[in-house]
Amino acid sequence: MQGQNNTKFIYDTGSGYVTIPEIECFSCAAWKYNPADSSTYDDTVESYSTTSLAYGSANFKGKMGEDTVCLDVNQNHSCVADFAFFMITE
């Protein structure tokens, strides 16, 4: 996600969605994604209409978005454009 540096995530391979806390989530702790900070963010993800998500013992509310997501493994960047994810707002 453009402009977001040194962010660490835990990957859950059993989930159908990549979830991230969005800047509007006041109850979320730590780092929060701000779509306004990215020149490649797209909120017109027409093929996704998810506004809530049951995840383990929690229920999240949010919205889908797309952005260019890059992984930096040993300083080798691997990027995916138009990567869809669920942004937690509540």
- Residues with Cβ < 8 Å from 8, sequence gap 6 or more? none
Q: Residue 72 sits in a domain of what CATH number? A: 2.40.70.10
- Whether residue 11 is contained in a domain is answered as no
pLDDT for res 2: 45
Q: In this predicted structure, what is the pLDDT of residue 11?
A: 63
User: Measured between alpha carbons, how far is 17 from 24 in angstroms, rounded to an integer?
Assistant: 19
Element (H, E) at 9: none
pLDDT of residue 13: 67
pLDDT, position 54: 77
What pLDDT tens digit does each residue of the chain (90 aa) get?
444 555 656 566 677 778 888 898 888 877 888 989 989 988 776 655 668 877 777 788 888 889 998 877 777 778 889 888 888 888
The answer to whether position 48 is within a domain reads yes
Q: Is residue 80 part of a domain?
A: yes
Domain count, the chain: 1
